[in-house]
Chain A
Amino acid sequence: MIIENDAVDASSSTAFLSRMLQFGDSMFPIGAFAFSSSLESAIQEGVVTDAATLRAFARTALEQAARGDCIALIAAHRAATTSDIDTLARIDALVYARKLSEETRTMSVRMGKKFTEMGVEVVGGPLLCRWRECIETSVTPGCYPVALAISFAVQSLPASQAFVVHQYGVATTILGAALRLMKISHIETQKILYELTGQTGGMYEAAATARLSDMAGFAPLTEILAAVHTRAHVRLFMS
């Protein structure tokens, strides 16, 4: 059935949309709530103090993800559609080698493993099962962007949606932590989220056309904040 105000076939698009919402939901149990992506130390050190600095901090995280992890995410989605395990493992190693702080590595591999396990239980299929086996036998580290790409590819969800879910996750992890760490209202965090997610379009095109060797970034203060966090005496979050 074609409904007038829908551009595509409604029954398949609603099914796709439900899947994307489920796997992109902050309720999806991959443990993202345990991480603050260095926001905890940014607040302790006075780097993030109000809504404006929080917005800029989250924007930095989104830009870094778009220039790095998301290139791997889109490449992994391509490899997963042909069930190319060797290429997936190669991409996974490249992502892991670029996580230069122990906390960002821990976050990526924990969420990657959980996401894969949930994929096996909820969606199933040979590729997800093989990927879980690769992670469990330490053949591959199992970073989050690759896990997300595989789960989306096996459900025939497009790479652009995986990208949106990835970036939404980056933003909500920080903004969710902000609600618990600083004096900020839900209204303000939602306004920030609305503004930041509105800017993802151009980022997707750049990431989709880049090569794996183009993965880059530059956020030295965020990296120093990660180093500060590993040494902090009082920690609510794992990063």
Chain B
Amino acid sequence: MIPAAFPPWARAETLGASMPEFASFQDEPPQMSSGTVGKTGFLRLGFEHRSGQTILANLERRVPYMVQRALHCDEQMPGLAYVFLITTTGCLLQGDRLALDITLRPRAQAHLTSQSATKIHAMDANYAAQSQTIALADDAYLEFLPEPVIPHRHSRFISDTQISVAPSATLLLSEIIQPGRKHHHPDECFGATVLSVSTAAARPDGRSLFAEKLVIEPRRYAMRQTGVMDSFDVFANVILCAPKDKADRIHERAGADIDLADGVAFGACRLPNDAGLIFKVLGRETAQVKAKVREFWGLVRQEVIGAALPPPYLWR
């Protein structure tokens, strides 16, 4: 049971209250107020390796977050627990507070994804916040590759991810951010008010590995500026925590290029403290970016597990 005094979504609440970029968005929505039932999603997933395959040994959930069961549908990795994250509201609204805790015990292998893109709706009060913790024990392997995030105009979103990863474990974490519904309305291209995405990783003993905080405020800092988004629209941030030898081989094969004519740019850098790699992709369209992330994912599987990727979904 979740102790009533310190519910996990309280972490998400604290985030927004403490960050300066959200100081002016502390007003309550005129609809349901922030952090009430139905707006405080919680999901705790615990994966364990048992007799040759990974099972979802622990599952706690609270709407709008939902998970049904782990599937073992990946023919290339039959032991891999494949889990779809479901949000019953289908989007993020002002006042939403979400918390996601993922734990992989030794040798557990899991793939997490979402059913569809996550829309962050327009906001005129407050903000939406999400707090995630990911803990990987020895030789654990997690692919967390959700569908893109679509921040609508005037949306305000804060996300914080705290990672604890054992030196022998592998974490592939991707986040694809669209500029908005750019074909819907001209204001939808970089129309969000503020997106704040923080990620920090440490070893299980507490040794810090790296930290990144991306703050996107299109009205304060020009998005089209040279060196920022330039002529690109879609951005992917892919973090790979992996043992150094494997990360080096993946880095060698990942390549880096900027093609302004085709509208795609990508490249991987070595993270500090031998934590792994960070792979960034920019593209004009989401499909180009997803294709590059998939390529990188393929390299990771091949080098870390020795397995191939499942064929792409026909409808995603």
Contacts and interface: CB of A to CB of B under 8 A. Distances in A.
Given A98-B212, A100-B210, A214-B19, 20 more contacts: A42-B226, A46-B258, A56-B226, A57-B226, A60-B226, A100-B271, A215-B213, A216-B213, A216-B215, A217-B213, A218-B215, A218-B216, A218-B221, A219-B228, A220-B282, A221-B227, A224-B267, A226-B267, A227-B256, A227-B268
Interface stretch (B102-110, B119-127, B272-280, B305-313): B272-280
- How big is chain A's contact interface, by range? 35 or more
A228 B226 CA distance: 16
Which one of B196, B221, B237 has the highest number of Cβ atoms from chain A below 10 Å of its Cβ? B221
Contacts of A101: 269-270, 278
Given A57-B226, A102-B270, A216-B196, A46 B212 contact: no
Contacts of A155: none
Contacts of B232: 220-221
A133 interface: no
Interface string A77-118: 000000000000000011011111111010000000000000
Contact of B227 (A98, A105, A222): A222
B260 interface: yes
Contacts of B258: 41, 45-47, 221, 224-225, 228
Contacts of B227: 38, 42, 47, 56-57, 60-61, 219, 221-222, 225
Interface of A: 38, 41-42, 45-48, 53, 56-57, 59-61, 63, 67, 93-94, 96-103, 105, 210-211, 214-228, 230-231
A93 B273 CA distance: 10
Nearest to A59: B225
Contacts of A219: 227-228
A93 B260 CA distance: 36
